[in-house]
Every structure is written in C-alpha cells, then in structure tokens.
Amino acid sequence: MAYWLMKSEPSEFSIDDLVKAKNQTVPWFGVRNYLARNFMRDQMKLGDDVLFYHSSCPEPGIAGLAKVSSQAYPDPTQFDKKGKYFDPKATPETPRWMLVDVKLAKKTRLLPLAELRNIPALEEMVILQRGNRLSITPISSAEWKTILKLFG
C-alpha cells in the first residue's frame, strides 16, 4: 500500500463536492504534469490512501481522506476539443493523460498548511518543500500516521 497527497483547487472541485458526488467517488481528471501522471499510471494501486488537499485558496490544507478506487485509465477530458483539458496530441489509441478514481473515506477538519509546517515529523513532506508545484505527491507511511494522529 502507498500513500498520496492529491491537490485540488476548491473552486474547481472541493472535498464538499466529493461528499456530494455519486457514490462519493470521482475521476481525478485534468492532471497535465508528466510526473503526476506517471504516479497515477505506474504506482497508484486500488486501495491506496489519499490526503485530499485544497490548494490555490485562501487557506490551503488537508480537507479529507480518500482512497484510490480504480486502476489508472485514460482521462477522457484530453479528447474533448471544447474542454480546457483538451490535448490535440492525444488519441484514443495513444492517450497521453491518465487518471484514477478517488473515493471519499472521510471529510476532516481543515489541517492548514501553516499547521503542517510546524510539525517536525513532517518536515520532509514534499508539499512543504520550496518550489513544489506537483498536484500529486507520494507521502511516507510515517507522514501518513502523523497526519492521522493530528485528526485524532
């Protein structure tokens, strides 16, 4: 089992949207970074744990827990010529972008980025490193356990 932090802008898709989604499950669409895509395509497995992270908002932070609920498959938004995630180089025969489905495990209190920065056990977390812009990052088992303790 692996552990992941997956960022979403609440104005695009929030933890509350996941709570309201059918079966509380959604495809994690729109990722357009090759390393993040590779994490989904090559490393994410059914049942992996996810920290649902709100980014690009007034108070960024972890807003919930989720699970990877599918194997990777082609992101259909890459083929939508009118959509903002369209990729003219992608074809159904040779898709460039993949996604996984994510299922809500639990909505939590917001664990703000500022609070995460003050926890010595989390100082190596990728999200806390300068210049990190990835929307999906692995987290260690120890980091996962530390964060769960913070939620009580």
Per-residue pLDDT at 152 exceeds 90: no
Q: What is the pLDDT of residue 131?
A: 86
If you average pLDDT over residues 25-40, what whole number do you get?
97
Hey, what CATH class is 3-151 in?
A: alpha beta
Q: What is the pLDDT of residue 95?
A: 97
Residue 21 CA, chain-centre distance (Å), reads 16
If you average pLDDT over residues 104-114, what whole number do you get?
97
Q: What is the pLDDT of residue 10?
A: 97
Per-residue pLDDT at 149 exceeds 90: yes
Structure tokens at 38: 């590779």
Q: What is the mean pLDDT of the chain?
A: 96
- Between CA 117 and CA 150 the distance in angstroms is 13
Q: Where are the alpha helices (DSSP H) in the chain?
A: 15-20, 34-38, 113-117, 141-151
Per-residue pLDDT at 24 exceeds 90: yes
At 82, give phi and psi (nearest 5°): -95, -5
- Of the listed ranges 4-18, 31-45, 121-135, the least confidently predicted one is 121-135
Structure tokens at 61: 């932070």
Q: What is the pLDDT of residue 69?
A: 98
DSSP 18-59: HHHSGGGEEE------HHHHHIIIII--TT-EEEEEE-SSSS
Burial 32-67 (b: 16+ CB within 10 A, else e): eeeebbebbbeebeeebbbbbbbbeeeebbbbbbbb
DSSP 121: G
If you average pLDDT over residues 30-50, what whole number do you get?
97
Per-residue pLDDT at 22 exceeds 90: yes
Q: What is the pLDDT of residue 133?
A: 86
If you average pLDDT over residues 72-79, what whole number do you get?
98
Percent of the chain with pLDDT over 70: 100
